[in-house]
Amino acid sequence: MTGTTRAIETLLQIMQDAEVPARRRIEAAEALLGFEAPPEAVGHAREYLVAVFEDGEQEIADRMDPLKLSRKFEAAKVAPRTVRTTREEVDRTEAWRRYEISQRHWDLAIATRNTPPPGWADDLYSPDYVAPPGWPPWS
């Protein structure tokens, strides 16, 4: 095999040796998959893991580790997306909040000829406030 090192060759020998306990052979396959290795070595490791987890005569506990390893190295881990609010988005939301509060305050003051009643802008001060798209007219 081209591009192999002595460590890779030893891991392949351990993985293919039926006299070695299954746990150690699985660890050898994991070591081959977890680091850069020649494609042939990676292929042998994957084939070995598949042979173990597809062997219906093995105990389920002995089949799960190879199965998890195969999954780990065949696909990227799925993680929830992180949504970060940019400084510009925070500034835009606060600009809309100030604009809508001042507009509502002005409209209520003119309509009632008095100061607005308690709670007149609770929805605008709420942490759940969602700003309209774009920037307010006076920003």
CA distance 125 to 120: 10
Q: What was the pLDDT predicted at 60? A: 84
Report the candidate in 91, 116, 92, 90 with the shortest Cα–Cα distance to residue 104.
Answer: 116
Answer yes or no: are the C-beta atoms of 63 and 53 closer than 8 Å. yes
- Residue 15's H or E segment, with its range, is helix 6-16
For residue 123, pLDDT beyond 90: yes
CA 42 to chain CA centroid, Å, is: 25
Q: What was the pLDDT predicted at 76? A: 60
Q: What was the pLDDT predicted at 139? A: 52
- Residue 73 tokens read as 């190295």
Q: Quote helix, strand, coil % in the chain, to nearest 5.
A: 60, 0, 40
- Residue 72 tokens read as 């780990």
Report the candidate in 69, 53, 50, 70 with the shortest Cα–Cα distance to residue 61.
Answer: 53
Cβ neighbors of 33 (< 8 A, separation 6 or more) are: 42, 45, 46, 69, 72, 73
Q: What was the pLDDT predicted at 130? A: 92
For residue 138, pLDDT beyond 60: yes
Each residue's pLDDT tens digit, 32-50: 888 888 888 888 888 988 8
Q: What was the pLDDT predicted at 101? A: 95
Q: What was the pLDDT predicted at 73? A: 76
Q: What was the pLDDT predicted at 55? A: 85
Each residue's pLDDT tens digit, 65-120: 888 888 877 766 566 666 677 888 889 999 999 999 999 999 999 999 998 889 99
CA distance 55 to 49: 10
pLDDT, average across residues 7-23: 90
